[in-house]
Amino acid sequence: MLTESAIRDQIPRLRRYARALTGNRDAADDLVQDTLERALSRSALFRPGGDARPWLFAIMHNIFVNQVRSAAARKTTTLEPGGPEPAMQDSSQDGLAMRDIQRALELVPDEQREVMLLVALEDFSYAEAARVIGVPVGTVMSRLSRGRERLRVLLAGEVELVPLKVMK
């Protein structure tokens, strides 16, 4: 059985990941809320002695994938008013770099972005990331490699910031 406080402790991390994943504050918090609710309703299924963090991230992954599949709520919410995220209002050198990477990140395919963020933000091992997403480690590695290269090219300005469908 998972305790409420064990779940609550993970909220800041879930929010960080969701923010990077969706690129939108409200959409991210909606995702976190759905995750918490589902986690509570399924806490009886939690393996005793297990680690709450990958379990919660796996729940979030499933909800996110379903949302994207059902006509991508993310794409519409990013267009809604609400303005830029707080992290983007800084116009210093760092602030600009942060803004660039947020924008570039949105142009990385969801599945590659997920892996990059699980590894970079959460510091999950490749095996853990594979379990969270439910794919083999080899798939994690290839997504990581393609995602990083994609982001590098985007940030280096080697391609125009155009929608990804062109690349497929």
Partner 1 sequence: MSSVLVSEDMLHAYIDDRLPPDERAEVERYLGENAVDANRVAAYRAQRQLLKQTFDTVLHEAVPRRLETASMRSQRTPWARVAAVFVWIAVGSVLGWVLRDYRDARTSPDVELVQRARMAHVIYSAETRRAVEVAASQEQDMIRWLSRRMNTAVRVPNLTEFGFEALGGRLLPGSRGPACQLMYQNAAGKRLTIYLSRDALGERPVRYSDQDTVHVVFWSDGTLAFAVSAELNRDELARIASLIERQSRTQGG
Q: Using CB under 8 A, which of 52, 58, 65, 155 touches partner 1?
A: 155
- Choose the stretch contacting partner 1; rule: CB under 8 A; options: 47-55, 62-70, 74-82, 91-99: 91-99
Binding flag, residue 139, partner 1 (CB under 8 A): no
DSSP string, 78-138: TTSSS-S-GGG---SHHHHHHHHHHHHHHTS-HHHHHHHHHHHTS---HHHHHHHHTS-HH
Alpha-carbon gap, residue 96 to 100, rounded angstroms:
6
Binding flag, residue 80, partner 1 (CB under 8 A): no
Closest separation between CB of residue 70 and partner 1, Å? 21
The residues in 99-118 that bind partner 1, with binding defined as CB under 8 A, are 101-102, 105, 116-117
Q: Using CB under 8 A, which of 52, 68, 98, 135 touches partner 1?
A: 98
* Cβ-based nearer residue to partner 1, 98 or 135: 98
Residue 158 host element (H or E): none
Find how far residue 119's CA is from the centre of its chain.
10
Binding flag, residue 120, partner 1 (CB under 8 A): yes
Burial class (CB in 10 A: 0-12, 13-18, 19+), 125: middle
Site size for partner 1 (CB under 8 A)? 44
Going by C-beta distance under 8 Å and a sequence separation of 6 or more, which residues neighbour residue 39?
2, 7, 55, 56, 59
Q: What is the DSSP letter of 165?
A: G
A 10 A CB-CB count for 28 gives 22
Q: Using CB under 8 A, which of 68, 73, 87, 135 touches partner 1?
A: 87
- Choose the stretch contacting partner 1; rule: CB under 8 A; options: 47-55, 59-67, 74-82, 146-154: 146-154
> For residue 112, what are its two tokens?
């590659």
* Contacts to partner 1 by CB under 8 A: 4, 7-8, 11-13, 15-17, 19-20, 29, 32-33, 36-37, 40-41, 43, 86-87, 94, 97-98, 101-102, 105, 116-117, 119-121, 123, 125-126, 141, 144-145, 148-149, 151-152, 155-156
